[in-house]
């Protein structure tokens, strides 16, 4: 039987025992119907995998003894953040799911000039990130931030070693050609909504140091662009 993965805060570990509570305990006990003696993997905030055996089941929690600790193979020393202009409907679900599977560390949604969708259910999207992190065997959950303005997004760009901005009207400049990509440890990339970016938005991002690139000759859907850009970044980094 496949060993299931669960997440818990670092404080859940004490005296070689891990306590699982909240939504993760509900999933463990009510959905998967795990019992005493079941083997599980628990990922804590240190990015390691704790191989455990359930030893106690309570009404609202369970305890598992740690049998072994291993480094998670998905952990990278490069942090990647996606700044995503909110797309229409459920497209954000696919973006969160697939970029999480590919290893994005953080997703920050924002409003751009051409954003038409105003709703962003952060709690629901956090759950999508949790499930995608489990499915892909990651030891850390992709962080989902609340929506910010385009101007606030620009202010955040200064903290990154490298910022990449695919632009549908750019005809030259590929992600793989960026020399700094090989040495950067904190990378951000920016994806627009269905209407793409206004020329002034691109100019403002460039003034903050963003590298404008093309993803090819064809115009990609927003969800495709978010996934493709990350896949190229990961490939060029050798992950």
The CATH number linked to 156 is 3.40.1280.10
Comparing 168 with 60, which gets the higher pLDDT? 60
Task: Please check the confidence at residue 81 and state whether its pLDDT lies above 90.
Answer: yes
Inter-CA distances, 13 with 23, 146, 149, 218, Å:
17, 29, 38, 50
Q: Compare 173 and 51 and report the one with higher pLDDT.
A: 51
Q: What is the mean pLDDT of residues 128-151?
A: 94
Predicted TM-score (pTM) of this structure: 0.89
Say how far residue 80 (Cα) sits from the centre of its chain. 8
Domain that holds residue 129: 79-237
CATH number of residue 8's parent domain: 2.40.240.20
Residues 108 and 32 in one domain: no
How many C-beta neighbours within 10 Å does residue 178 have? 17
Per-residue pLDDT tens over the stretch 144-203: 999 999 999 999 999 999 999 999 888 778 999 999 998 999 999 999 998 889 999 999
> What was the pLDDT predicted at 73?
85
Q: Are residues 99 and 160 in the same domain?
A: yes
Domain count, the chain: 2
User: 147 CB contacts (<8 Å, ≥6 apart)?
Assistant: 86, 109, 110, 111, 120
End-to-end CA distance of the chain: 29
Mark which of 71, 98, 114 sits at the end of a domain: 71
């Amino acid at each position: 039987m496949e060993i299931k993965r669960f997440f818990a805060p670092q404080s859940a570990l004490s005296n070689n025992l891990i306590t699982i509570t909240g939504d993760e305990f509900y999933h463990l006990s009510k959905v998967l119907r795990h019992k005493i003696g079941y083997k599980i993997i628990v990922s804590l905030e240190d990015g390691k995998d704790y191989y455990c055996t359930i030893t106690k089941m309570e009404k609202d929690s369970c305890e598992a003894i740690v049998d072994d600790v291993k480094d998670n193979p998905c952990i990278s020393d490069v942090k990647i953040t996606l700044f995503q202009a909110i797309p229409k409907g459920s497209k954000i679900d696919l973006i969160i799911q697939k970029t999480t599977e590919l290893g994005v560390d953080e997703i920050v949604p924002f409003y751009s000039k051409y954003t038409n969708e105003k709703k962003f259910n952060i709690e629901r999207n956090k759950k999508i990130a949790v499930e995608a992190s489990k499915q892909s065997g990651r030891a850390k959950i992709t962080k989902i931030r609340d929506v910010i303005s385009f101007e606030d997004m620009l202010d955040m760009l200064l903290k990154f070693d490298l910022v990449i901005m695919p632009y549908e009207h750019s005809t030259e400049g590929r992600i793989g050609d960026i020399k700094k990509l090989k040495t950067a440890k904190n990378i951000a990339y920016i994806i627009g909504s269905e209407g793409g970016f206004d020329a002034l938005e691109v100019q403002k991002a460039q003034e903050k140091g963003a590298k404008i690139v093309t993803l090819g000759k064809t115009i990609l859907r927003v969800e495709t662009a978010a996934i493709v850009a990350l896949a190229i970044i990961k490939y060029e980094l050798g992950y």
